[in-house]
Amino acid sequence: MNHISRGEFLKLGSLSLLGALVSDTVFANDGFFSAAAAKVDEGLMKKLILHNDAYVKNIFQKAVVSADVRLSNFRPVAADIAAMTASVSHPKSEFYKSEIVVERLNQAADIMLKGQYSDGTVDAGGNRQSPPDTAFVLEYLCSAAMVLKHNKQKNLDSLKEKLKKFIQNAGEAMITGGVHTPNHRWVVSAALANINSLYPDVRYTNRIDQWLAEGVYLNQDGHYSERSGIYSAVIDKALITMARLLNKPELLDKVQKNLTTTYYYTEANGDLVTVDSKRQDQFMDITVTKFYLQYRYMAIHTGNPIFTHMVNLIEKNPDFAHYILSDSLIAFMENPELQQQIPAEVKLENDFEKFFVLSNLARIRRGKTSMTLFGGNDIPVQIVSGRSSNPNFLMYRKGDAILKYLRLSSSFFRMGYFSSEGIEKTGNKYILKETKEADYYQPLAPEFRKADGDYQLSESKDRRFWNKMDFENRTASNVKKQTTVIEIEENNGALNLDFKVDGPPNIEITIELCFKEGTEIAGATLGEKGNYFLKSGFAKASMGTDSIALGPGLVEHQNVNNLDSEEYTYHQGTLHTDGVHVYITGFTPFHHKMTIS
């Protein structure tokens, strides 16, 4: 195993990497790169052992999987193997050298081998004989094998051979197998790095170099191509693995930049902003906890106060025990560097404004108030994995009072929610714009007519629908256009919003504000289906002792159903979410100003 010295890490140029994103006050700390004391965090290790043992006890509460059962997901079995390996190998675990655990480990290894295809792969849900999903499984199994490599218990020899057989078989699939998504390349490469550290073979490193030759994309905002919280954590972990095991410290340049961006995307309670993701988490509530090992590793190696802050923040998160303490002992045993105490925390600024230009996303924090503005959907908006399509353009928090999102919808040809074509920043004002067009169509010219009327099935020029109308050869006419401009000005945590929607008259406009479940609303009228309408004046949305004020209101219609585009509603789909909904409505030409504070 090739470990990188601390000196090599300090040559990474952290200051130049982070200077554009971190305030000068952060770097004023003289101890930024002071040598971290190699003292073990005994308190954390005790927690990891206790929780890992609890995990193992839970395994024993479950029946052994029958040999006749065909599994479609092998990650849980691999995770069980890793957890049991940690307990049976750690002298302070109550399962240290446990014969019962060894027996259960062998049973689990047999299950893995039975599920492995001759090409070395396993299935994962709908992904059949999947190289990348096999790579995710190898993350657990290689950690277990590395820990077992240093375990001299004779009764573990059979298990070691079984894991070696599975891992080397899987290695063949990693050498030749393909991938689906950008992050899969680095997951497969990390798996190969792990296999190579156990059973060196130049074919493994050659394949890694083949993938790395494509380049690891990271834009100036600090985002990988999928712009996803879930997969950024995956990529950061994979790059750290390759940097450690292959002596490629240059890969950590990207990790540092992405982890810094993730800091700005993290709310005070650990929630992660994902509105701009191009993957499934753009519609999910997730936390930054999945980045814990990445932040801890980089905090130890760089002393970066942002990373130290994030480690401490995550350790206070309610989900820390579930996602980290329960199954991370194996990682700390495989890589003892993680056991070191992190540097002392330096107080960071709690007041910033960061505009991520390429993502068209702004993050603003003023004390306990934080704001997110977003206008970076992929145009044209399409509902598909790999494209950004979230209609939420504003999120606002003040302590426990949370405006989950603000959206604007128009009944203009049932084209649904406003989706900005980027963000223009002028002074402290952010301007979001969108133009929608819808067409009608003229008769076909004589040369395109067919006596039987059997024309090509094609998409309309405005991309709203398909029909056997041969739209390509028709002239569009009666073109209707609607232009929406939203100006947002921030002033010490308060937002002034100016909405303007112009185009055909009498189009229904709906401003939708969704607050966190349990929010109490005062000043608005409760209507049907539990919706609130702010007819005039101001309302207050409260959670505990914190509250958000909004208004003035306007209600000219109460048709707040089917706000999604026909792309959703045709299939009875919806983007409507749980929460407490407050509506402001009107008709075009629409001009309304309001504040949120």
DSSP string, 18-41: HTTTS-HHHHT-TTTTPPPP--B-
What tokens were used for 360?
């068209």
pTM, entire model? 0.90
Please say if the pLDDT value at position 13 is more than 60.
no
Q: What are phi and psi of 394, to 5 degrees?
A: -150, 130
pLDDT for the residue numbered 33 = 31
* pLDDT, mean of residues 271-283: 93
pLDDT for the residue numbered 4 = 44
Please say if the pLDDT value at position 411 is more than 80.
yes
Q: Return the closest-CA partner of residue 116 out of 385, 108, 449, 475.
A: 108
DSSP letter (8 states) at residue 280: G
Q: Which helix (H) or strand (E) holds 424?
A: strand 423-426
Q: Please, what is the average pLDDT of the chain?
A: 91
Give the range among 22-36, 282-296, 415-429 with minimum mean pLDDT: 22-36
Pairwise CA distance, residues 569 & 486, whole Å:
25
Between 386 and 23, name the one with better pLDDT: 386
pLDDT for the residue numbered 25 = 36
Domain boundaries, the chain: 42-339, 352-437+482-596
pLDDT tens profile 202-244: 999 999 999 999 999 999 999 999 999 999 999 999 999 999 9
Q: Return the closest-CA partner of residue 8 out of 226, 251, 232, 178.
A: 251
Please say if the pLDDT value at position 489 is more than 70.
yes
b/e 50-71 (16+ beta carbons within 10 angstroms → b): bbbbebbeebeeeeebeeeeeb
Q: What is the largest CA-CA distance in the chain?
A: 87
For residue 422, the tally of other CB atoms under 10 A from its CB is: 14
The DSSP secondary structure of 497-555, one letter per residue, reads: EEEEEESSTT-EEEEEEEEPTT-EEESSEE-GGG-EE--SS-EEEEETTEEEEEE----
CA 172 to chain centre: 30
Pairwise CA distance, residues 348 & 207, whole Å:
42
Please say if the pLDDT value at position 56 is more than 90.
yes
Spatial neighbors of 57 by CB under 8 A, at least 6 apart, are none
Please say if the pLDDT value at position 575 is more than 50.
yes
Between 511 and 380, name the one with better pLDDT: 511
Q: Return the closest-CA partner of residue 509 out of 552, 556, 553.
A: 556
pLDDT for the residue numbered 22 = 45
Pairwise CA distance, residues 174 & 195, whole Å:
10
pLDDT for the residue numbered 499 = 98
Type of residue numbered 530 = G
Count of positions (residues) in the chain:
597
What tokens were used for 531?
């919706």
DSSP letter (8 states) at residue 414: G
What tokens were used for 194?
């792990």
Please say if the pLDDT value at position 8 is more than 80.
no
Pairwise CA distance, residues 550 & 456, whole Å:
51
pLDDT tens profile 414-450: 999 999 999 999 988 999 999 999 999 999 999 999 9
Distances (CA, A) of 69 to 81, 130, 268, 574: 18, 19, 45, 37
Spatial neighbors of 275 by CB under 8 A, at least 6 apart, are 282, 361, 372, 374, 390, 392, 395, 405
What tokens were used for 136?
């995710």
Q: Cis check for the bond before 505: say yes or no (omega within 30 of 0).
A: no
Q: Please report how many Cα atoms fall inside a 13 Å half-sphere around the Cα of residue 402, on the Cβ side.
A: 12
CATH numeric code, 42-339: 1.50.10.100
Give the range among 342-351, 390-399, 584-593 with minimum mean pLDDT: 342-351
pLDDT for the residue numbered 35 = 37
* pLDDT, mean of residues 328-336: 97
Q: Return the closest-CA partner of residue 192 out of 204, 180, 178, 184.
A: 204
* pLDDT, mean of residues 15-32: 36
For residue 592, the tally of other CB atoms under 10 A from its CB is: 17
